[in-house]
Amino acid sequence: MLRAYLHEQHNIVMAGDHQLDALPANVVWMDLVEPTELDERQVEHCLGINVPTREEMQEIEVSSRLYTEDGAVFMTAAIISHADTGNPIISPITFVLAGERLITVRYTKPRAFDTFSQKLMRHNNHDSAGPLIFAGLIEAIIDRLADILESVNVDMDKLSTEIFDADPGRAAGRNFQEILRRIGKRGDFAAKSRESLVSLARIAHYFNETVDLFHLPYGRDMKNRMAAIDKDIGSLLDHTNYISGQVSFLLNASLGLINIEQNAIIKLFSVVSVVLMPPTLIASIYGMNFKGIPELDWPLGYPMALCMMAISAALPIWFFKRKRWF
């Protein structure tokens, strides 16, 4: 699908279907969403560039993601999407700057794109050139990543409270299997967010290196704007490092508490076994079927055996209590 945005009287509007057959000269942003071959050929014919295929976008070499060809700058970033579903994915998105026009190629639908396009069309906008729209789109993606990291941080705080809750009633009802699953999910969010931020930092640096190719009258302002974007990315990367450390800490703490609970259960079984061993020994002795056992004919033999078993069970309990082993 091809979405084309036009600059008309200081406003950005989306082109109608009748305008997509022959793209007008005032088009400033072409957004290719899961493009067909017809969409790709139309853009290639209009701008005289080669639109990268899905396979080319997935290349991991830097030279395949950041390059200049036919006077256009191609930048591919790995962007997180589907964060609201709880199962985020990383997908490559290519940004192409051809003169005053921006082309984006994507096979996913990050929320930042819809949010930015609506904002772009809602107000009178001076960001009417491709490079300016590109900078605004990167800022929208970074804002979305910041929201995701804030949400992850809130969840990590809740998990920390749940894991270290001092209330015995609530602590006894902890489901560590679910806690470990939630920690893993938050760690996955942080890792994917970090990958997106690193990818965005690369294209920001590359854009600053190539912005002079466009001979833009606002080139210096663009460099300052991208420098500010780079600072935002750096601060978010620091935050992802903090979250990653928090994930590791809570994971280790959860595993430690699981080991403590398992050791407590094993200790309980061990104490019960030791307590029952002496009474079992006494019962085994007097349970032997030999005629020569003198206590068999003694009227007080049975009460004496019960008393011996009770005393032999009480002594280990007293000893363990004194040692504070349970």
pLDDT at 122 over 60: yes
Q: What is the pLDDT of residue 172?
A: 64
pTM of the model: 0.78
Specify the DSSP class assigned to residue 18.
Answer: G
Mean pLDDT of the 117-123 span: 78
Q: What is the pLDDT of residue 170?
A: 65
What does the alpha-carbon distance between residue 189 and residue 238 come to, in Å, rounded to a whole number?
15
**Mean pLDDT, the chain, whole residue set:** 82
Calculate the CA dihedral of residues 254, 257, 259, 261 and round it to 10 degrees: -140
State the pairing for strand pair 11-14/2-8. Answer: antiparallel
The model's pLDDT over 126-136, given as tens digits with 9 standing for 90+, comes to 567 778 888 88
Domain 2-260, CATH among 3.40.640.10, 3.30.460.20, 3.30.70.930, 3.40.190.10: 3.30.460.20
What does the alpha-carbon distance between residue 188 and residue 251 come to, in Å, rounded to a whole number?
13
**Bridge partners (DSSP) listed for residue 89:** 81
Q: What is the pLDDT of residue 293?
A: 76
Domain boundaries, the chain: 2-260
pLDDT at 275 over 90: no
The model's pLDDT over 143-186, given as tens digits with 9 standing for 90+, comes to 999 999 999 999 888 888 888 876 666 666 678 888 889 888 88
The model's pLDDT over 25-70, given as tens digits with 9 standing for 90+, comes to 777 888 888 888 887 787 777 777 888 888 888 887 777 788 888 7
pLDDT at 7 over 80: no
Percent of the chain, pLDDT > 70? 90
What does the alpha-carbon distance between residue 105 and residue 92 come to, in Å, rounded to a whole number?
9
